Structure 1
Amino acid sequence: MTEDEELPEYSQSDLWAAHLPGQDLVPAYLVSRFAAQYRVIVEVLLEAQDSSLTGVSFDDVATRTRAYLGERLSAEVVDELIGGDGLALDARLERLVKWGVLTRWQDPARTGEDFLRRRDRYQLTPPAARLHAFWTQEQEADEDAAADLTLAPRAIRDRLETFASAVRDRRYPAAAAEYQQVIVLHQGMAAAARTWQRSLAHALSGGPDPDKQMVLWRTLKSYIGLWGEQVDVHTPKIAAVLDELENVLTEPVWRGCVRAALADDVTEEVVETQAARWARTWGALASWFSGSDGQARRLRRQLRDLVAPWARNMHILMDTGGVVTRRAELLRLARAIERALDDETAWRMWDTAVGVFPARHLLLPADSADDHLSSWAESPPAPVTARYREQGVKAAVGRRAQAVDYSAGRSAARRARAAALAARAEAEASLRARSGTCLSEWTSLSSQELDLVLELFAVARQRGSGDSRTAVTGDGRWRVTLTPEAGRPGTASLRSPDGVLTTLNWRFDLEPAR
């Protein structure tokens, strides 16, 4: 569409337009052929509203437009865009007025010179100002606007408890003052939640890319930083207050609170409208915080479950980036975080995995004896070798490196340890059955039994004293006693597949130490 083209008119009347709003020309400046010029003019007038409440003159629009372009482009480009026929400012402003984007009026002429100059003044219409502010709003702006919600659940709980006390005592002015703060907090909380929901819906749709990963990470950090961890802490108390006042807040009570907040001569219609609005806010708070499936907890669970897709998408990006893959580690980390007992444990796992620790400064040998007096902040950086500068870029060339897989070795080690523990348990049971007998009466021992006998003999002889040697093993499980037997052979030989052990013919006793 050019600026001289009108929007198409249809030959037949639209039946819908007779009952519902239809065509709106305000957004036309965004899709026009000269949309870039229109957007600059609208942006200039929107910025001018911060300093001018009486509109902007035609000459001031031209001056502000050049200054706006000069802040973003070079002087040569600005002269090329504005000079000659590059900017027909009069025609652009006329078209914006026809589309309903601008309001135009003239200053009154009080002197002869006023009749010789152009007296037109321009101001954005309210729909155009709201549309352009919404259209140019950056994503971080919602997060900045929600930055004051750091203690929103706690503040709502405190205000509701004070509101409940005032309602019970029929102190309606105090109750109205507290509830108005609750309304403001709820509106800010809902706006922040809508922002997070939009970000999540966009970032989780389609394939992963670095920008979406950044959106997910920023959303998660924004939620945790604002009021995520407070949901579980304060939701039960908020729900208890809501349930307690459910039958107390009747229509007359709401009307009394509203009337206490308004002027004395306010009409009954205004009181009814405001009371209905306050009651809807109370119902919205109940849907947010009451029950195990409230909106606040649902949003919290949704963001908690975001960790696994975020880690999975990171694996996809790393795998396609030609770097060392960490698939196994990330999957194991995601499973561990999902099975964590609480959020504190989950975040501790995450911080440990990604290395969120204080910086460590590594010291290098000093070239001279005086260099040790310099602090690390003033010392020069460590040199990078010429070999690394020349060959470091070739590290990712060729076949993609893979992380070393130690899973088979770890599995074999676990199986070997389980087998050793089972063999030791069997040897302990066998020697427990031989307790109370002399060594000369024993039959052949297995290799595991002989190793355990040597360990028990060493404990008894090292820690025991006197003719009868008694001691407790290092793990505190067994008490072994070696007692010499009169009238028995002086020595005994214990046979095993590993050889023969010849020792004194002790009486062997093995009992649990506990």
Structure 2
Amino acid sequence: MTSRPAALDRIGPAGADAAAQSAEPSTETPFAPFAHLTAPNAALYRQVMRVFLAAKERFAVHLRPEDVHAALPPEHRPAGPDAVVKALDSLVGWGNLRADPDTSRVTAVEDFYRRRFIYQLTQAGEAAEQALSVYDEALGRRGALQAVALHDIVTHLRALLVISAKEEPDAAKAHLALSALTSRFEALAENARAFMGSLQRTIDLHGVEVEVFLAYKDRLIQYLERFIQDLITLGGRIALLIGELEDEDRVGVLLRLAAAREAADAAPDEADTAQIQAYERWAGRWSGLAAWFVSADGRESQARLLRGRALGAIPQLLTVVRQLNERRAGRSDRSADFRTLARWFAEAPDDGARHRLWRAAFGLYPARHLTVDADTLAERGTRPVAPATPWSEAEPLRISPQLRRTGSYERRGKPRKVQDRSEQRRLLAERATKQADEIAAARARLATERPTRLSALGELDPTAFGLFLRLLGDALATWRPGTTTTVATSNDGTMEIRLTALDDGTTAEIRTPGGVFRGPDHTVAITDLTAGIPMGETR
């Protein structure tokens, strides 16, 4: 018989067990800390890990089972602490937690032999929870079209122009202004991508309740129109500011100053490499910003693509609304009818009921079964006839004299009343005609026989002013640094605008019922491409 080691005599059986579990568990795979996501009772494991994360924020390192039990939300709290202890032991086995002997409450020898542990997060468990937090945040993000961010980008670009105008630009101010600019731009781009993704899911009605969609579709369309308007007016201004900063490599000086300031704290032997890497990062950020707002080399800017995508989403939303209204109005929906019929087949009690449902729905009978009544069904039930029975061997079919005489067995009755929708169609036609007349009048008002100044356009009504802003936005979106003249066509192909910059420094004012629109004066020529085309035709 081998002798028991003295160390185990001093520790005792429970202490030895605790010492074995206090060691960091070795995992066969680096993804073991994620095993609790697919294990039974995964909701409890997630709540337990959140308790440890909350305790870490309060600088509490170790937790006892009773502390974890008390901190759990009431809806996830087990009746007793034993379930919590089992969950903690499982998390220790996966490597999310670490268990250490709890010797602070030992007051007698028998207490030392009891199994008591305190638990704390491991590095792998904390990393797994951080990854899950990022995952949950990404799933819950809906994004937004941040019109305020466009104003902030204009402000930061103007600040950079002021800084670059000095003989010796301040490195600290340049670095702070560039950091604020890139941070605001990255938030704008990320939120725009998330919003357009969630907007497409809304259009496709994936994961969206129909009632919720109908409730907020008007606000969504107004939101899109407001952002498109801001993107048209501010996008062109941002493109001009970017062009001014890229003139004579003014922005290059600012980027080098920011890179040098970032590399100031690097080790002496790594200073040059750190500065080169920092400059490459800043140059990449600036090129991304410029590509977002400025079109170049036959490539449309991201702002223009976003505007086109947002403009295209509005008629798609209206199409979805029209389809939903048609379904509610009782119009035929073949897909809904087939889904209902499939549910009836699934709920049928037996094959006989399914066959009767099939005959009632589709009426596909053998050729000799010209009519089926209760007597025929009873006779067929008593003496079934196989479908492959030849005509010569089958029992003759009795045909109604009415069917022989008239060729029809239908019992005619009073037809259903057809709902008269002529008044609604008339109102819709009047509204469509009125809108078409207003748009045609706006095109005729804006069309110029020859190039003229913006200041000579005079006062514009709301419809003509909205059309003018869209044309101006299309022209400014194609404006590049050094451009003096640009030509653009509206998205619907009905108008063409030729815009030429003036160097006399004059300001144009266009008055509207909502206020006065001011900006640098240009020479403009607007052509109505639909002039001379008969109504209802397109080019």
Relative to the length of structure 2, the TM-score reads 0.47
- The structure whose RCO (Cα within 8 Å, separation 6+) is larger is 2
Task: Using structure 1 for the length normalisation, give the TM-score.
Answer: 0.49
Larger radius of gyration: 1
